[in-house]
Structure 1
Amino acid sequence: MPTARLSGLNALVIGGSSGIGQTLAEGFQREGARVAIAARTTDKVSRVTERLRESDSSALGYTVDVTERQAIDRLATDVSRDMGTLDILVNCQGTTVIKPATEVSEAEFDQVLDTNLKSVYFTSTVLGGLMLDRGQGAIINIASLAAHRGWPNACAYSISKHGILGLTRTLAAEWAEQGVRVNSISPGFFLTELNRDRMPAERKQAALTRTPYNRFGEVDELVGAALFLASEESGFVTGTDISVDGGYLAGGI
């Protein structure tokens, strides 16, 4: 029987209590990783942690607001105490505001940027410090098609996701010699808790029209890319973004 691809590795998925993050946490666990999740809502964290513990009693869950720097410091302390080492970090936290740019308030702008970009910077630099201390590790940031195109009526979100690509590439270049790889995944259109009820019907139809596969993605279809970036199979891959988008970015007219 072949060895699980992540056997013996410790993984932390921030935003792992729902949607893409939960799916990645479950996928990592199936491949042998010891998994911890972190998210803001206690009930959701508890529910998913209990589900993970059905397969591995050592699974962990942390309730944390990663928009607060001190909370990230505490998370790093807890992870170091509970897991000993950290091999894989996934940043999957995210929020959005769907409205014209001129109508976005300062508070709404700050909420999106704090959640989608600022928190990823500090989770990467603080928790990544646990990897730098050992000279090995893999960070995977969840970007978006909005990191590659202008995204009307989601300006703050698009800004934050463009920032994720810049952060990913810069940390990759800075940390390569120290053994820590940093990559990102840009999902195409996947109906998740974040966007299912916020995306207008006409926007959903436009997404399908511009996606050569002519369908929405299934979140399980993101697991393969994440496993590749988390495992030794991508040992010489850093600073790269993998688009899992049904051909959206490749499509023409």
Structure 2
Amino acid sequence: MMDKIAVVTGAGGTLCSAMAKALAAQGWKVALLGRTLSKLEKTHAEIDAAGGTAICVLADVSSEAEVTAAKEEVEAKLGVATLLINGAGGNQSAALPDTTEFDARELEPENDSVKGFFNLSMETFRSVIEINTMGTVIPCFVFGKAMAAEGRGNIINFASMTSFRPITRVAAYAMAKNGIVSFTQWLAAYLAPAGIRVNAIAPGFFLNERSRQIMFHPDGSQTVRAQNILRQTPLKRFGEAEELIGTMNWLISDENAGFVTGITVPVDGGFLSSPGV
């Protein structure tokens, strides 16, 4: 039996670390890619303690040169990866307006009482789009090429609820994640002759280190943002990282999902099914 080798980008994060650990528990050798070594080492230590195999590889996924170097390191240490999970990405607070609708004060050059669309940093806006789009395209380009040479492979991209609805305040992130759904469909059709399936998972509202600060006050009470989200989520709770594993396992199984490619699977507690009226 051939070795099962996976690459997980963003493997130091809450969601992708859970996925990496689940893969390792199933016998995959996992390359943990990310920009922060301490976060990757934490995931690695947990995999190692459970008897799994993993390596940490530093790379900025929006850099073709760094991802290419990462691929060479993965192949030297583990072999050719036939599974790629593109979980790296994220948002930046500087790209978020603090209002949900236009306020005339944002047109005043010296007025910093409100941060709207018209006084955001366009450089920051661009960087959010860059990490969330090219940060997926480049790993697909680099690792997908090796999969095509093997004639087999599986790619899972990360979409979002913002792929379907332009949720307030997150314009750059929504723009990028909407693009991920389209790119997933395009790449699935393109790589089908190479024996590679390409799908995406769209998590609903899951809690991680960053989102906890947005969803909860220091005293543990819910913010208005959290209350609005839960009002629109029929299951009335946030998701847990482990609740993505079943979808991942289905998508990577040739036995169970061998005829599935080009789709985006929401794992959202019903969020998309609730219009709020």
Both proteins in one fold, TM over 0.5: yes
The root-mean-square deviation of aligned C-alpha atoms, in Å, is 1.7
Residue identity opposite 1:242 in structure 2: V
Q: Distance in 2 between matches of 1:239 and 1:248?
A: 22
- 4, 10, 13: which one aligns with 2:5: 10
Query: Residues of 2 paired with 1:7 and 1:35: CA distance?
Result: 14
| C-alpha distance in structure 1 between counterparts of 2:188 and 2:270, whole Å | 26
Describe how 1:184-195 pairs up with structure 2 within 5 A.
Answer: 184-195=200-211
225, 229, 240: which is aligned to 1:203? 225
Give 1:248 shift: 0.9
Structure 1 segment 158-177 matched on structure 2, within 5 A: 158-177=174-193
In the alignment, structure 2 segments of 5+ residues that lack a partner are 98-115, 217-222
Counterpart for residue 51 of structure 1: 46
Specify the SS of the correspondent of 1:89. Answer: strand
Q: TM-score, normalised by structure 2?
A: 0.85
- Asked whether the 8 Å contact 1:13–1:90 carries over to 2, the reply is yes
Shift of 1:7: 8.9
Q: What is the CA–CA distance in structure 2 between the aligned matches of 1:209 and 1:197, rounded to whole Å?
A: 19
The answer to whether the 8 Å contact 1:228/1:234 transfers is: yes
Match of 1:155 among 161, 164, 171: 171
- Give the match's secondary structure for 1:12: strand
Whether the 8 Å CA contact 2:25–2:52 is kept in 1: the answer is no
Q: For 1:156, what is the secondary structure of its paired residue?
A: helix
Whether 1:228 and 2:254 are equivalent positions in the alignment is: no
Counterpart residue number, 2:59: 64
**How big is each residue's C-alpha offset from its partner over 1:50-79, in whole Å with a ceiling of 9 and x where there is no partner?**
221122353111111112221011011111
Offset of 1:199 from its aligned partner?
A: 4.7
Structure 1 partner of 2:194: 178
Q: Greater CA radius of gyration, 1 or 2?
A: 2
Matches of 1:228 and 1:103, distance apart in 2: 44
Deviations 1:113-132 (A, max 9, x none): 12111111011111111111
Identity of aligned residues (%): 32
Superimposed CA distance per residue, residues 153-194 of structure 1 (whole angstroms, 9 cap, x where no aligned partner): 000000010011111010001011110111000001111124
Which residue does the alignment assign to 1:3?
none
| Structure number with higher relative contact order (C-alpha < 8 Å, ≥ 6 residues apart) | 1
Contact 1:34 1:58 in 2 (8 A): yes
Query: What amino acid is aligned across from residue 47 of structure 1 in structure 2?
Result: K
Question: SS of the counterpart of 1:13?
Answer: strand
For 2:3 and 2:176, the matched residues in 1 are separated by 33
2:211 match: secondary structure:
coil
Number of residues of Structure 1 aligned to a counterpart in Structure 2: 248
1:76 to 71, 76, 84: 71
Contact 1:29 1:35 in 2 (8 A): yes
